[in-house]
Amino acid sequence: MGEIEEEILKGIKIADFTWVVVGPLITRYLACFGATVVKIESSRRPDLLRTSRPFKDNKPGLDRSGYFAFLNANKLSIGLNLNEEPGRKVAERLILWADIVIENFVPGVMERWGLGYEDIKKIKPDIIMLRTSNQGQTGPLSTQPGLGPHLIGLSGFSYYSGWPDRDPIGFGMAYTDMIAPPFAVALLIASLDYRRRTGKGQLLDLSQMETAIHFISPNILDYTINGRIGGRQGNRCSYGAPHGAFPCSEKDSWCTIAIFTDEEWERFCGLVDKPWIRDPKFATILGRKRNEDELEEKISEWTINFKASELMGLLQGRGIPSGVVKTSEEVLSDPQLRERNSFWRLDHKVIGPYDHLGQPFKFSDVKAVPKSPAPCLGEHTEYVCRELLGMSEEEFDSLLLSGAFDI
């Protein structure tokens, strides 16, 4: 069956008040499958990602951030001054145009602009509004500000991240920001179906912290059932050994090895073929766990003689779970990802040509279409007003003079 280049969400219109990571990633998923997403921005307080590394040629600029470019492809950008009445009036026009309004500010921000759910429901009764904040819209800590790195600690991830003999460490990225968006997309699709059947809109309150907790549910279950809190294990696993990343011959190259069964261990022994590998203290999983430090040291002395890709091939060829620890360059050139069209070549007005990460899922008869790179700040202000909202040239010029736009 041949692919049909038809946008599955074509006709769905989204007023996007989001910024940083969680909200823009939600709207990016929707935009890549055909929804028209209008991102409301301000040069006075730009999206934090517009000021975040990496920058094109290491030169900072509001339109030069690679991080922003990744999260905002296929969107339109309008610059509005929401602190003034004319700008808020344009925002209300956008809400009247939209099917969905999405925001991820600290609770209360939209209300201060007169754009909370109760306000916009008066403008458009069947509007769907998704609000996703750190800890939800209600509760004693709902208005506590924060970003993904804060939620890593609040959600419990940091406690389990690191080595047993060291303090907890961060993830090096806002990991929880990647968890909430799939939940949000499912909620929005369900709400669109509900509106189609009933004609009613919906307010969706998505707590990023609560979605993140789902990802440490085994630890919560262990405590609930066994009263055990657990702790940091580094790369190790309580029911596997060896289980970690081991050094290889090339500079800063590593290959992971994970052995869980007696059969895998026996195959590993046949490959290593060193006297120490048959030591009785390593013969069982309990023995290998008791002597894990020594085991890892000896395995490292063996793996350092191989290139990472060579070692992975030897291990996988014997049915032993293993994999190369890849750099960004190696991920980008991975033939599997290239075959699946995982990277889209886009040409940004300021950044220039770059590889943009596409969608990790496929439909049989519909595919995501890379329409356009991330917009420059306020790039589509006139287009949105004139073409989508139906403003006359005179009305647009009048709003421009009134200070409604912030570009």
- How many Å is the Cα radius of gyration of the chain? 26
- Mean pLDDT by runs of 10 across the 407 residues of the chain is 62 98 96 95 96 96 96 97 97 98 97 98 97 96 92 92 89 89 97 98 97 93 93 93 98 97 96 95 97 98 98 97 95 92 92 89 77 96 98 97 94
- Residue 170 has a pLDDT of 78
- Residue 80 has a pLDDT of 98
The angle subtended at Cα 394 by Cα 390 and Cα 396, nearest 5°, is: 55
Q: Is 262 a catalytic residue?
A: no
**Dihedral pair phi/psi, residue 254, rounded to 5°:** -145, 150
Closest CA to 51 of 346, 377, 357: 377
d(CA 52, CA 66): 8
Rounded to an integer, what is the distance from CA 363 to the centroid of its chain?
A: 20
d(CA 231, CA 233): 7
- Residue 6 has a pLDDT of 60
Burial of 70 (0-12, 13-18, 19+ CB in 10 A): middle
- The residues, ordered by sequence, that sit 6+ positions from 237 with a Cβ below 8 Å of its Cβ are 243, 258, 260
- Residue 377 has a pLDDT of 98
d(CA 146, CA 210): 15
- Residue 269 has a pLDDT of 97
d(CA 255, CA 246): 5
First to last CA, the chain: 46
Burial of 338 (0-12, 13-18, 19+ CB in 10 A): exposed
Give me the amino acid identity at 243.
Answer: H
Supply 234's token pair: 């580094």
Give me the amino acid identity at 356.
Answer: H
Supply 148's token pair: 């993904």
Q: Model-level pTM?
A: 0.93
Contact 321, 329 (CB under 8 A): no
- Residue 5 has a pLDDT of 53
CB neighbours of residue 280 within 10 Å: 7
Candidates 99, 177, 293, 406; catalytic one: 177
